[in-house]
Amino acid sequence: MSDLIGVWTGAILTLLVFSYLLGDTPLFRIAQAIFVGVAVGYAATIAIQVVLIERLALPLLQNSLGNWHLFIPLVLGLLLFAKLRAQWAPLGNLPIAFLFGVGSALAIGGALSGALLPQLGATVVPLTTLDNLLLVVGTLGAFLSFRFVTLPQRPAGRVIEAAARGWGYVGRWFVLVAFGAIFAATAVSRVSILINRVYFLLHDWLQVVK
């Protein structure tokens, strides 16, 4: 019975989403509200159970002195409620500034350690094959395409500036090709999701496809 209810629920929600093909209908808005509500409810449940209870409340109740450092996120979290009143709103700026600072640091650190440095390391290859040559030329050209510094107008500087500008122009085409590949991969993934949902309707719900 639970499997049957799940199949019918999934089929109805899928049809509600497909109603967007007819326009921004109330049926699509209902499905959108359901999905957003489920996602928010799941995220809130995980945050309360895994973060607030298991990693904050229980350690403080079991050993407050040994886990004294947990009082810092507790105080910062409580200061967020000061935003509910205009008179206390400035007190909530401290945890918000902390959140923005940590988020920015994680984003910059992730970009450096997860994208920039590995890409630079991947370009350290012997220039013995055409693939390696294109990799090095494309990577350095992509970096040069985002170059906004000009050298002094001396003979050597003008030569280097012209070479860097030309190399950056070539790298811009590599960037466009990369964006095209990303867009194609995104389109293919969306088509695969559509095929999966149509197969679900025909196989699991209507059972007209074996």
Q: Give the phi and the psi of residue 137 in degrees, each rounded to 5.
A: -65, -45
161: Cβ contacts below 8 Å, ≥ 6 apart? 150, 151
pTM, whole model, 2 decimals? Answer: 0.71
Average pLDDT over residues 181-186: 96
Q: Residue 209 has what DSSP assignment?
A: -
Q: What is the CA radius of gyration of the chain?
A: 27
pLDDT band at 116 (very low <50, low <70, confident <90, very high): confident
Residue 182 to residue 184: CA distance in whole angstroms: 5
CA distance 44 to 50: 10
Q: Please check whether residue 142 is in contact with residue 171, taking contact to mean a CB–CB distance below 8 angstroms.
A: yes
The answer to whether residue 1 scores a pLDDT higher than 80 is no
CA distance 38 to 33: 8
Residue 69 has pLDDT above 80, yes or no: yes
CA dihedral angle for residue 59, residue 64, residue 68, residue 69, rounded to 10 degrees: 10
Cα 145 from chain centroid? 24
Instruction: Return the percentage of the chain with pLDDT > 70, whole number.
Output: 99
Sequence-distant (6+) residues with CB within 8 A of 119 are: 139
The length of the chain is 210
The single residue listed with the structure tokens 């007819």 is: 22
Confidence of residue 151 (pLDDT cuts 50, 70, 90): low
Question: Mean pLDDT in the chain?
Answer: 92
pLDDT for res 68: 94
